[in-house]
A = this chain, B = another copy of it.
Amino acid sequence: MSKGTVVLAYSGGLDTSCILVWLKEQGYDVIAFLANIGQDEDFDSARKKAENLGAKKVFIEDLRSEFVEHFILPAVQANAVYEDRYLLGTALARPCIARRLVQIAQKEQAEFISHGATGKGNDQIRFELTSYALYSDVKVIAPWRIPEFYNRFKGRKDLMEYAQCSAPTDLYLMTKNPDEAPNVPDVLEIEFKNGVPIKVTNVKAGSSKDKPLEMFMYLNEIGGKHGVGRIDIVENRFIGMKSRGIYETPGGTILLQAHLDIETFTMDKEVRRIKQGLGIKFSELVYNGFWYSPECDFLLHCINKSQENVEGKVQLSVYKGQVYILGRESPKSLYNEDLVSMDKQGDYDPCDASGFIRVNAVRYVRIKSQTSKTT
């Protein structure tokens, strides 16, 4: 008799294949769910594999548009970067996948979900916090935290690890090595509205994209071709360990640079300062797996509000691992050429600056000679 139904976040790889089989051994009916979020994968053969291993049903779903529109674009608005460097690619994908996972579980009346994330990482947290947020009674089976499982499969893990890491040059899948990148830059124009890209144009080629997924794929392609967005960092996991991470985020890096530029061009200085703090907080929450939390909802709302005037076009060139901003224009710009010009005063009276500076220095004057008293 079945212990119940588990929906497993299936990757098609050895790890989650082992888990699928083990879950069946334990007496569960297993539904495999494989999300397409843009990874390089043979989905048909993954489906067959899951079926052959005994999955009762297999769901393979293309979440790419939803991933770009509902997760990546808000992160672009936020200039989301964790610990000054990490652009949060995986961290954004996890709640997208987990949301669908629990939707399937609810539809299929499964009490359980399972995943292949390890017991020391961030992904287990991201999967499970999303699951608890959206399906509060769900029960989670995390085999890499269950001694019977991990003691048995540790050996295989060693093997897999070894196999995966033997060739560090193969670590990067999307980006070329910058020294193999073309000697001629690509020049792009990215148009934003409400802080999100609405059109990407290759200036020389004259071609353009205007659907979120297409734009993002195109930026990944161009960024990848020029070796943009590779980092090798040590980061602080939510559970308090430091770990090394090697990431590539070609399209995200281009979008971050372009968005930072148009945002500073069009957003009031003090709003920007407050929003910068909210963006840092948002990035920590996303990293830690709190996408579906009340505070993340609140920040998403506030950040989106801040983007109302973030509109215009940024021209940039992509070359040898770098993104160079060439210029920007906007109907909502707060940049006032006349005001800033050294030769026109506009409405601005330079004499005012004297008072401004002196008042800013008022605090500096200490009284030295006397005890002060107020009663």
Contacts and interface: CB of A to CB of B under 8 A. Distances in A.
- Report, as a range, how many residues of chain A touch the other chain: 35 or more
B325 A232 contact: yes
A43 B268 CA distance: 41
Interface string A1-21: 000000000000000000000
B364 A132 contact: yes
A358 B363 contact: no
A276 B299 CA distance: 13
Interface in A316-368: 319-322, 324-331, 333-340, 342-343, 347-367
A365 B136 contact: yes
B321 A336 contact: no
Nearest to A302: B302
Interface string A105-144: 0000000000000111000110011001100100010101
Contacts of A343: 154, 157-158, 161
A140 to B, nearest CB: 8
The number of times this chain is found in the oligomer is 4
A120 B356 contact: no
Contact of A241 (B275, B322, B339): B339
Given A276-B84, A339-B241, A374-B244, A119 B367 contact: no
A328 B361 contact: no
Contacts of A362: 239-241, 339, 348
Given A84-B79, A357-B125, A360-B125, A347 B365 contact: yes
A264 B235 contact: yes
A48 interface: no
28 contacts: A84-B260, A120-B340, A125-B356, A129-B361, A129-B364, A136-B365, A179-B185, A232-B324, A232-B326, A233-B325, A234-B264, A235-B264, A236-B264, A240-B269, A240-B363, A241-B362, A242-B269, A268-B363, A271-B294, A273-B295, A274-B299, A275-B298, A277-B280, A321-B324, A329-B373, A331-B371, A334-B363, A352-B356
